[in-house]
Chain A
Amino acid sequence: MDKDRTDKVPELTYEAAVSRLEEIVTLLERGEAPLDESMDLFREGVRLSSFCSGKLKEMKEEMVKLVDADGSVAPIDQES
């Protein structure tokens, strides 16, 4: 079960991950879920939190200019 979840996380969009994370926090804060379930939620929440941070941090800048209709690109000349 845990494995499934780990496999699923990378497929999530950032938005879905954050909204699931918010949901988890709400559930945990309500404190109504059984302890075992809470523990699972917590693990999922921690994973989602680091997934979100990671996804934000991993983005690599690439600012280019399209130079040809076939999609080839060149760096943007910032001075122009």
Chain B
Amino acid sequence: MNPVFSVTELNRAVNDRLSQDPVLGKVRVRGEVSGLKTYPSGHSYFTLKDDTASVSCVLFRQPAGQSSVKLTEGMQVLLFARTNLFDKNGRFQLIVDGVQEEGLGDLYRRYLDLKARLSEQGLFDQERKLPLPFIPDRIVAITSEAGAVIRDIIHVLRRRFPGIRLILIPVPVQGAGAEHEIAAAIQLANQLSLGDVIIVGRGGGSLEDLQPFNEEVTALAIAASRIPVISAVGHETDYTIADFAADLRAPTPSAAAELAVPVKDDLLLRAEQLGAACELAMVRRLELAASRLSALATRPVLVRPTAFLDGHQARIQLFSHRLLSAWKEAQIQAQRRVEDRRAAMEAALVKVFSDRTLALARTAQTLEALSPLAVLSRGYSLVTDPEGRSISRARDLAKGDALELVFQDGRVGGQVTRPLVHADSQEEGKTNG
């Protein structure tokens, strides 16, 4: 009878046998790195695989640190390793002591080739990208029904935009043929117009896990979609062909949900702020109008409508004042002129009078000289008839005629006693007074 082992004993025994085996204890294995995970401790875990099989590998920190080769996903390597059965779970694994790079893995090469070809066809061109709706009416999620991805999407959508509508098209997201189901789901969403934005994705994984998203059929379906597609595959660093073909690439499914919808509360706040700003602006506008109005209302022309006359009135007053004084001045001038004239006239008059008085005196002297009285005073006398008519000829007198003799001091009457004799006997012509 074979002995009975405990599990621990069995694992330990197999492990011992393995490590001591001359052929299988230490091996060199060729394969492709896949599902590489490096932990903060520095240990790396990955799967080494070829077309048909795979084996778990662990690369502890120290060798990894020493190795000049940095493992990357899809890398074709030659491993120097010890075979090992992990005590705790009985899993066969390789403990890697050394790594030698042998080039890119087949999957990775296919990925690069497809990417180059589709890129050349213009499938990834920026002009092909469809704009996302600002607020989608309904979101279509194409992913696995189970798992964290759809839960993350729902969680983010509910948080950001409560009330959003979501329709899930469940598809397998890994394994053979998954790409066809994914492509068919995208086509179905378009045919039935299930929504106005599509999120297609899965969680992170190894290159072969992501393979459905690196297939041409998936890329073509995404590119052909009339509904904008957000790709959400894996974790930040993994770019799939689907990512390049999508209208928008999100690093994770949660990020895709964030890109798909805005934050509703922000929008509500914005709408309310704008409404308030609108009211405030209107209040300000009215205040502006009111202040303009009151500024106008206090303008002098409205407060005292006759104000504009003030200037005129003042000028008129000034003019009338000037007019008045000018008038007075003119009067004074005129008065002065009149007075001047009168004075001149008076002077002239006085002069005339004095001239005349002088002339008169002179005339009077002349007259005096001519006066018969003056002659009489020299001893002559004047003969007149009784009527006073002067008698200058003797022949005008007859005997007995009455006559008057005028002397300087009075007159006497007489009678002709002897008429005319001869002119030469003047003695005889003498009156007998």
Contacts and interface: CB of A to CB of B under 8 A. Distances in A.
B134 A49 contact: no
Interface in A39-70: 39, 41-42, 45-46, 48-50, 52-53, 56-57, 59-66, 69
The 4 closest A-B pairs by CB, nearest first: A49-B275, A28-B281, A59-B163, A45-B278
B274 interface: yes
B167 interface: yes
Given A15-B134, A25-B274, A65 B282 contact: no
Interface of A: 13-15, 18, 21-22, 24-25, 28-29, 31, 33, 35, 38-39, 41-42, 45-46, 48-50, 52-53, 56-57, 59-66, 69, 71, 73, 76-78, 80
A52 to B, nearest CB: 4
Contacts of B278: 21, 24-25, 28, 42, 45-46, 49
A56 B267 contact: yes
A5 to B, nearest CB: 15
Contacts of B275: 21, 45-46, 49-50, 53
B69 to A, nearest CB: 42
Nearest to A55: B135
Given A14-B134, A52-B274, A63-B168, 17 more contacts: A29-B284, A31-B285, A35-B286, A38-B285, A42-B281, A46-B279, A49-B275, A50-B275, A53-B268, A56-B271, A62-B165, A63-B165, A64-B168, A65-B167, A65-B168, A65-B170, A80-B145
B316 to A, nearest CB: 42
Interface of B is mostly: helix
B272 A49 contact: yes
B164 A59 contact: yes
B274 to A, nearest CB: 5
Contacts of A13: 134
Contacts of A48: 274
B277 interface: yes
Given A57-B268, A69-B188, A18 B274 contact: yes
B165 A35 contact: no
A66 B168 contact: yes
Nearest to B161: A59
Contact of B285 (A35, A71, A78, A80): A35
B423 interface: no
B375 interface: no
9 contacts: A35-B285, A53-B275, A59-B161, A61-B158, A64-B167, A66-B194, A71-B194, A73-B167, A76-B166
B162 interface: yes
Nearest to B193: A71
A25 to B, nearest CB: 5
Contacts of A29: 277, 281, 284
B268 A56 contact: yes
Nearest to A65: B168
A18 B146 CA distance: 38
Interface in B250-283: 264, 267-268, 270-272, 274-275, 277-279, 281-282
Contacts of A18: 267, 270-271, 274
B200 to A, nearest CB: 14
Contacts of B279: 42, 46
B288 interface: yes
B130 interface: no
A59 B154 CA distance: 16
Contact of A80 (B146, B194, B264): B146
A69 to B, nearest CB: 6
B267 A52 contact: yes
Contacts of A21: 271, 274-275, 278
